Chain A
Amino acid sequence: MIGAVGFLAPWMLAALAALPIIWLILRLTPPKPRRIVFPPTRMLFGLDERENTPARTPWWLTALRLALIALLILALAEPILRPDQRLASGQSPLLLVLDNGWDTASDFRERVAVAETAVAEAQRDGRPVALVATADPRADLIAATDAATAARRLAAIEPQPYLPDRALAAERIANADGADSMDVLWIAGRIDDGGAAELAGVLDKVGRSARLLQSDRPGLVMLPPENAADAVHVPVVRFGAATDAMIAGFDDEGRRIVETQAAFADGDRAEGLIELPADLRNDLARLVVSGEASAGAVQLLDANWRRKSVGLVVGEAGRRAQPLLSPLTYVERALEPRADLLRPSAPGTSASLDQLMKAGASVIVLTETGNLPQETTEALLKWIEAGGTLVRFASSNISGSDERLLPVRLREGERALGGSLSWEEPQPIGSFPAAGAFGRIGVPKDVVVNRQVLADPVALEEAEVWAELRDGTPLVTARNQGRGRIVLFHVTAEPGWSNLPISGAFVEMLTAIVNTAGTIETGTGAAPRAANETAADSQPWRPEQVLDGYGRLGRPGPNAKLLAAMADARPGPDSPPGLYTRAGTLRALNAVGPNTALAPLDPVRLRWTGDLGSLEPGRAWPIWPYLLAAAALLAILDGLAVLWLSGRLVRRLAGTAALVLAASLLALPTERARAQSGAEMEAALTGTLQTRLAYVVTGDPSIDDTSRAGLEGLTRYLASRTALEPGEPVAIDIGTDELAFFSLLYWPIDATAPVPQPAVMARVDAFMKNGGTILFDTRDAGGAIVPGAGGTTPETQKLRAILAQVDVPPLEPVPPDHVLGKAFYLLRDFPGRWDTSQLWVESIGDTPRDSNRPVRGGDGVSPILITGNDFAAAWAIDENGRYLYPTVPADPRQRDMAFRTGVNIVMYCFTGNYKADQVHVPALLERLGQ
């Protein structure tokens, strides 16, 4: 069985018949001779006729070429090697059942490839094929068709973002096909959410022979994450031997904002922890298992999951006109960045509470409220049972409240500390018990409580104490009730009783309450903000974006329908997972919900009696690439042979060619990427981590030492006079070192050094073109750089030779209004060790000379500066800071001017012509009307 070779394009083999003709042509066409001009050719005439007869191609070259052509023809016939495992054996029509739920998406291409192979086999045998995609909602395409139609349909099948309804498929198959009428091939998914056993039974019955193929590839499924107080817990379930899951979190613009690892220790369930501040956590819009292209590896997070909506209610007693004195000002300010705040518009406390509960608030802050009407109390209690969190603050009338709306029974009256009639000191906060929601908050030292309501110590056992004062009296108590909880601050929400509301801890405490608050069940509390739009409740949910089987968000397809209610929606053909919207509210429907059954599809449990197989083997192995490679090799040999025949193959060349050929063959599979060498990296770091002055090494030690000492001197001067503090100067080998890290290069000209190679000068040219500046210093006190102005010094001649290879812009001596004279100091001339040479810059002659502008800058920085004043010698200092060279004339002022010149040059190179722009400021201000 093994070794069966098939041809995908067997008609190409007919071309082999042309081989004899090619053989004849090859025999008659000898390789073309090499032509050379040779003056004594007339001496050769008639030298020997024997050698002049037209030669025939040597037989072995003909054989080589025929083999080459035969190989090419064979390769074009596309032979493949098949370990011939027939997928669809038998003679009956083939029933191909392809699971295409999201659990197959990660290796769907392989599944389709296997299915295609099976269909192709059936086509070869002339058997009809019935193709059933279990997650495909269309029921009418179950009848057996010819294989070509099935292949076309197969190409259109995509994985669906929900699990297949196999029970439905089983029913359809049982209705369509009689017993033992088909040969069954079931390419099964990973997950059985019920119904697989039924399908297995039907297939068993229908199939004369049955085979089940399963993938060996591991799969990962993400379950709905849980937003706990400390972190987001993301549970991941694996199928197969997946090692780790990398979980990535994306915000609503698709940016990857967080990543975490979920490691499978033992068992098939792992949990990734995403520890993020609450407001960043709210940015999460989507959690994805990286590398798993499947809708089951994606969890969409909606507003309900993300942000808690907090309703704020102030009782009648606290309604005041001044906003800053409103009791909930501090709560508002603390919660605004972290939660949606709902401010009721209805008059009256009860109406406000009703409105908030309808609007879907998951936290309600209530203050200055005593007793509430009975029905409001009942509604509140129901809301709390359903998951709401009620946060209350003490007030003077709180003792009138219904005890069911308080976490603990309170004692009558309140306790004043540190008043004029009291011996007691104001109490600071003692501790946040670890069991409470504030356990992670550091105890603030600056909070003191002057007044509080006291809990009845007897009743305290029912409630949790989240914060207590130093004397042990509770400051914050809480009690869980149903799925929700009630929290009471024993002080007021404004700083009348304590300075807690104006402390930083207050923000953290409220944040912790909101983060640990539960949510109201989806569907019951979800309502538009304006409570009077009750009509919106009856509107259906419209799909906004839907997931495809691979877990990608996209526009909803034609199958997506409006959803009446989100709460009981299950992902299916009519309700693909995705984001649904109703009147501005966005809700997510995920492929994997909290109730999704995730049992692996196990043939043993299905009591499968047919064959079992795996997806991976049975792939056809193409041979033709190897044939092509062999043909290429023969072509190279042919070329070498022709060279050898024409006498052009020198032995050394032949050896080189053979080596290159061998090396290229060997090197094919090897990696070519190589790490940047350490020294190079170090040089790059040296150049980039700090701004540095750089000079070009000439090779003459005395010049290089002077350059180094000079730039060191300038570096110190810069550090002491300007905001620029460069690092140690760097020596640059113009031929090899990277120039891109520097904006200014000092290049002293050495008359004896050779002119750099053109390749090197090309780099220099590129450096100058890309914004670098080179300061050439001929150090000859201005030996006539201008052509025609008398004799030139060797340095100047050398400079000309160097610059002959680069694109030098037109130059001019620095004009009086050039920005170079104004970049830091106001300078008129630019002396160095000498003061006889001028400083040459790129000409800005075409910049219009405006009498109102004292400075002209030109565009950009001159790429080239030329001087003969030997700047480095003027700047050069030894390690004690003494100057190494006297200036000529020996004038201390000239030394200072030399340094100022250096500062101006450096500033000019680093800041460009912005000094020239500064002169526009008055005009700009005038135009702005100031």
Chain B
Amino acid sequence: MAAATPIIVPERIGAARSLASRLPELLIDARRVAANVMLGVHGRRRAGPGETFWEFRPYTQGEPARRIDWRRSARDRHLYVREREWEASQTVWLWADLSPSMDFRSRLAETSKLDRAVVLILALADMLGRGGERIGLPGLLEPRIGRNAAERFATALMQSGAPSDWPNLDRVARFAEVVVIGDFLSDAQSMRTHIQDLATKGANLHLLQVLDPAEEAFPFEGRLEFRDPETGAVWTSERAGSIRDRYKARLGAHRDAISEAARSAGFSFGVHHTDRPAAEGLLFLQGRLGGGRSAIESGRAPPEPSYA
């Protein structure tokens, strides 16, 4: 089913572009990345290695003399050192689950989960690219800086091979931000393992679960035969309406398990439904990648799985 539909179609890049254009450039909060010396193109609002003028400060003894800004110092009797703004960039890995289970759309939603996930990834890539961050696709693209991130991602996603439901995160280094968008319907134990692996690497993970409203509400009645698009497993129900509550409880438990695993590792977890605007999902991710970090870092209780 997924093979029949090309993952990247021009419409999705366009949709992602228009979505991203509505939000400001996404700047990663870089306070934690002191050791990261990689140069970026945007200032960190503090003095450091960079090209843009930041401030003049008086020369202190012991500094190399070549730092003195002679032109400024010539104007009075003090020696001044020209400080430049610290320009650095963060590494962000973006990944979307492209497995067949994502290619699902019920009558309640306008788009499929796959569509939405790709749009979110591309929009995020575009925003981050404009912000000068280094962004990469695990297993497909090395992190690079560039404003054409959406196109690069689109091309790379087009060439991606057999879809899996979890990325290969071997190359993720410490302090990197990882964004994973998917439906996370595989069993909770494997999810927990993945999350713990990443936590030991010291990377920071943001999970966004994209679900169809039908998967959430289970609006089925009567005699039905359910088929799993990935495994092909079939399950028949005589009166589908009668199992709705039990299904909902089970789905909730599954989500709670993943959410709890993410919380304990200090990662963020959000839920997004395809009948909602894509901007909601993007806003969630922006909040987590940008300013939302401080809340977690400051040791406050992790938020409940927020519904974006």
Give chain A's interface residues, CB within 8 Å of chain B.
30-31, 33-45, 47-48, 51-53, 55, 645-648
Contacts of B221 on A, CB cut-off 8 Å?
A: 647
Tell me, rounded to whole Å, the shortest Cβ–Cβ distance linking B223 to chain A: 4
The answer to whether A33 touches B224 (Cβ under 8 A) is yes
Query: What is the bound-complex CA distance between A300 and B222, given in angstroms?
Result: 77
The answer to whether A40 touches B225 (Cβ under 8 A) is no
The 9 closest A-B pairs by CB, nearest first: A647-B222, A647-B221, A41-B228, A39-B101, A38-B226, A33-B223, A33-B225, A41-B226, A35-B225
The answer to whether B226 touches A44 (Cβ under 8 A) is yes
Contacts of A648 on B, CB cut-off 8 Å?
A: 222
Asked if B250 lies at the interface with its beta carbon under 8 angstroms from chain A, I say: yes
Give chain B's interface residues, CB within 8 Å of chain A.
1, 101-102, 104, 113, 183, 185, 187, 212, 215, 220-231, 233-243, 246-247, 250-251, 254
With most chain A CB atoms within 10 A of its CB, the pick from B183, B225, B238 is: B238
The answer to whether A34 touches B229 (Cβ under 8 A) is no
14 contacts between A and B (CB under 8 A): A30-B223, A33-B236, A36-B225, A37-B226, A37-B227, A39-B101, A41-B226, A42-B185, A43-B251, A44-B235, A44-B237, A48-B243, A647-B222, A648-B222
Contacts of B229 on A, CB cut-off 8 Å?
A: 37, 39
Query: What is the bound-complex CA distance between A45 and B227, given in angstroms?
Result: 11
Query: What is the bound-complex CA distance between A45 and B231, given in angstroms?
Result: 13
Contacts of B250 on A, CB cut-off 8 Å?
A: 43, 47
Since A33-B224, A55-B238 are in contact, a sample of 6 more A-B pairs with Cβ atoms closer than 8 Å, ordered by chain A residue number, is A36-B227, A37-B104, A39-B183, A43-B247, A44-B237, A647-B221
The answer to whether A34 touches B224 (Cβ under 8 A) is yes
Contacts of B222 on A, CB cut-off 8 Å?
A: 34, 645-648
The answer to whether B246 touches A647 (Cβ under 8 A) is no
Query: What is the bound-complex CA distance between A288 and B89, given in angstroms?
Result: 106
Query: What is the bound-complex CA distance between A39 and B247, given in angstroms?
Result: 13
Q: Given A39-B104, A42-B185, A45-B233: A51 and B228 within 8 A (CB)?
A: no
Query: What is the bound-complex CA distance between A646 and B185, given in angstroms?
Result: 27
Contacts of A43 on B, CB cut-off 8 Å?
A: 185, 247, 250-251, 254
Tell me, rounded to whole Å, the shortest Cβ–Cβ distance linking B212 to chain A: 8
With most chain B CB atoms within 10 A of its CB, the pick from A31, A41, A51, A645 is: A41
Tell me, rounded to whole Å, the shortest Cβ–Cβ distance linking B183 to chain A: 6
Contacts of B1 on A, CB cut-off 8 Å?
A: 37
The answer to whether A47 touches B246 (Cβ under 8 A) is yes
Q: Given A43-B185, A43-B250, A44-B237: A51 and B242 within 8 A (CB)?
A: yes
Contact of A40 among B215, B236, B237, B246 (CB under 8 A): B215
The answer to whether A39 touches B235 (Cβ under 8 A) is no
The answer to whether A44 touches B227 (Cβ under 8 A) is no
Q: Given A43-B185, A43-B250: A51 and B243 within 8 A (CB)?
A: yes
Contact of B246 among A34, A35, A48 (CB under 8 A): A48
Which A-chain residue is minimally distant from B113 (CB atoms)? A39
Contact of B227 among A38, A51, A645, A647 (CB under 8 A): A38
Contacts of A647 on B, CB cut-off 8 Å?
A: 220-224, 240-241
Contacts of B220 on A, CB cut-off 8 Å?
A: 36, 647
Tell me, rounded to whole Å, the shortest Cβ–Cβ distance linking A765 to chain B: 29
The answer to whether A35 touches B251 (Cβ under 8 A) is no
Tell me, rounded to whole Å, the shortest Cβ–Cβ distance linking B57 to chain A: 56
The answer to whether A51 touches B224 (Cβ under 8 A) is no
Q: Given A39-B229, A41-B226, A647-B240: A47 and B215 within 8 A (CB)?
A: no
Contact of A38 among B113, B228, B241 (CB under 8 A): B228
Query: What is the bound-complex CA distance between A40 and B253, given in angstroms?
Result: 13
With most chain B CB atoms within 10 A of its CB, the pick from A31, A45, A51 is: A51
Query: What is the bound-complex CA distance between A43 and B226, given in angstroms?
Result: 11
Q: Given A47-B247, A52-B237: A42 and B223 within 8 A (CB)?
A: no
Query: What is the bound-complex CA distance between A450 and B227, given in angstroms?
Result: 117
With most chain A CB atoms within 10 A of its CB, the pick from B215, B234, B237, B246 is: B237
Query: What is the bound-complex CA distance between A44 and B243, given in angstroms?
Result: 9
Contacts of A45 on B, CB cut-off 8 Å?
A: 233, 235
Which B-chain residue is minimally distant from A42 (CB atoms)? B228
The answer to whether A51 touches B215 (Cβ under 8 A) is no
Contacts of B102 on A, CB cut-off 8 Å?
A: 39
The answer to whether B238 touches A52 (Cβ under 8 A) is yes
Contacts of B187 on A, CB cut-off 8 Å?
A: 42
Query: What is the bound-complex CA distance between A40 and B221, given in angstroms?
Result: 16
Which B-chain residue is minimally distant from A52 (CB atoms)? B236
Contacts of A53 on B, CB cut-off 8 Å?
A: 238
Query: What is the bound-complex CA distance between A672 and B265, given in angstroms?
Result: 75
Query: What is the bound-complex CA distance between A84 and B260, given in angstroms?
Result: 88
Query: What is the bound-complex CA distance between A36 and B242, given in angstroms?
Result: 17
Contacts of B225 on A, CB cut-off 8 Å?
A: 33-36
Contact of A645 among B183, B223, B241 (CB under 8 A): B223
Contacts of B183 on A, CB cut-off 8 Å?
A: 39-40
Query: What is the bound-complex CA distance between A266 and B233, given in angstroms?
Result: 90
Contact of A39 among B185, B238, B243 (CB under 8 A): B185
The answer to whether A36 touches B238 (Cβ under 8 A) is no
Contacts of A41 on B, CB cut-off 8 Å?
A: 226-228, 233-235
Contacts of B227 on A, CB cut-off 8 Å?
A: 35-38, 41
The answer to whether A47 touches B185 (Cβ under 8 A) is no
Contacts of A30 on B, CB cut-off 8 Å?
A: 223
Which B-chain residue is minimally distant from A642 (CB atoms)? B223
Which B-chain residue is minimally distant from A34 (CB atoms)? B224
Contacts of A51 on B, CB cut-off 8 Å?
A: 237-239, 242-243
Contacts of B243 on A, CB cut-off 8 Å?
A: 44, 47-48, 51
Which B-chain residue is minimally distant from A35 (CB atoms)? B225
Query: What is the bound-complex CA distance between A48 and B104, given in angstroms?
Result: 25
Which B-chain residue is minimally distant from A48 (CB atoms)? B243
Tell me, rounded to whole Å, the shortest Cβ–Cβ distance linking A20 to chain B: 26
Query: What is the bound-complex CA distance between A48 and B241, given in angstroms?
Result: 12
The answer to whether B104 touches A55 (Cβ under 8 A) is no
Contacts of A48 on B, CB cut-off 8 Å?
A: 242-243, 246
